[in-house]
C-alpha cells in the first residue's frame, strides 16, 4: 500500500445554489470527524467565494471545475488560474470527460490547462478515460495512455505534482461502474506510466471517477492502485459523501 493519504474529491458539476451549498457543506464539515483522507469539493465558479468561507478552518479543500489556458486578456467568460488562486483554490479539474465531449477539449488543451494550474501553484486533477465505443473496441489502455502522455509531455518536470483521475466515460452518471478489478487494471497501467515519467511517482495519487458511491466505495478504494475517488452525484448528498470519505483509509 502507498503511504500517501487518499483523496476524495466531490465534483458538483453544474449544480448548487447559495442555500443548498450552505446546508450541504455545513453537514459535511460537521460529519468529517477524524477523516483519514484528504477531501476537496469542485464547485461552479460563482460559488468559489461562498464555499471558501464555508469550509474555512475545516479539512476540506476548495477545487474549481475548469481553468483557462490563458493568463489574462480578451477571453470573455474565461477564468484564469491566478483568479482561482485568489479564492483559495487548491485543486482544479482539467479535461473532465464532459469538457472533452461538450467543449471539444483536446489532449493539448488539457495539457496547457494543467500547465497553467501548476504555474499558479494549484494541483490539477487530470481526468482521463475512454468512451463506451472505445471501451467496447478494447482501446481503453491506448486512450488513457495517449491522454496522459500529452500532459506528461508538456509538464514533464513537475508531473509529480499532479493528480490523475480515471473516469471511464461509459460509467459516468450512467449507474454502470467498472468492477474493482477493471478499475485496478487501468490504474496499474497509469501507475506504470507516471512512474516512468516522474522522479517522485509515490506522490502521485490516482483517483477512480466512474460512479463511485456509498455502496461500492470501500471495494474500489481497497484496490492497491486506487488512491481515492472523484465523486459526482453522491457528493451532493452529505450522508453519501461522508460515507465515501470514511471508507477511504
Write the DSSP symbol of residue 5. P
The answer to whether 167 is a known catalytic residue is yes
CB 55 within 8 A of CB 24: no
Which residue, among 95, 164, 153, 86, has the nearest Cα to 123 in the 3D structure?
Answer: 164
Catalytic member of 98, 105, 167, 246: 167
Contacts of 185 (CB under 8 A, 6+ apart): none
CB 210 within 8 A of CB 167: yes
Catalytic member of 96, 130, 161, 187: 96
CB 227 within 8 A of CB 249: no
To the nearest 5 percent, what fractions of the chain are helix, strand and coil? 50, 15, 35
CA distance 143 to 177: 18
- The residues assigned a catalytic role are 96, 167
Amino acid at each position: 500500500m502507498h503511504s500517501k493519504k487518499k483523496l476524495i474529491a466531490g465534483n458538483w458539476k453544474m449544480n448548487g445554489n447559495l442555500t443548498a451549498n450552505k446546508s450541504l457543506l455545513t453537514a459535511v464539515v460537521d460529519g468529517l470527524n477524524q477523516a483519514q483522507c484528504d477531501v476537496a469539493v469542485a464547485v461552479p465558479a460563482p460559488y468559489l467565494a461562498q464555499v471558501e468561507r464555508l469550509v474555512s478552518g475545516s479539512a476540506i479543500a476548495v477545487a474549481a471545475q475548469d481553468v483557462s489556458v490563458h493568463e489574462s486578456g480578451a477571453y470573455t467568460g474565461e477564468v484564469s488560474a491566478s483568479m482561482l488562486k485568489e479564492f483559495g483554490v487548491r485543486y482544479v479539474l482539467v479535461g473532465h470527460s464532459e469538457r472533452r465531449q461538450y467543449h471539444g477539449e483536446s489532449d493539448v488543451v488539457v495539457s496547457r490547462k494543467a500547465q497553467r494550474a501548476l504555474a499558479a501553484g494549484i494541483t490539477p486533477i487530470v481526468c482521463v478515460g475512454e468512451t463506451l465505443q472505445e471501451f467496447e473496441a478494447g482501446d481503453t489502455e491506448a486512450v488513457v495512455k495517449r491522454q496522459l502522455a500529452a500532459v506528461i509531455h508538456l509538464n514533464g518536470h513537475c508531473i509529480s505534482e499532479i493528480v490523475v483521475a480515471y473516469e471511464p466515460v461509459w460509467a459516468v452518471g450512467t449507474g454502470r461502474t467498472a468492477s474493482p478489478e477493471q478499475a485496478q487494471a487501468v490504474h496499474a497501467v497509469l501507475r506504470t506510466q507516471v512512474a516512468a515519467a516522474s522522479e517522485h511517482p509515490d506522490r502521485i495519487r490516482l483517483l477512480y471517477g466512474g460512479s463511485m458511491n456509498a455502496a461500492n466505495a470501500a471495494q474500489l478504494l481497497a484496490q492497491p492502485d486506487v488512491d481515492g475517488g472523484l465523486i459526482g452525484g453522491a457528493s451532493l448528498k452529505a450522508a453519501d459523501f461522508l460515507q465515501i470519505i470514511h471508507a477511504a483509509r
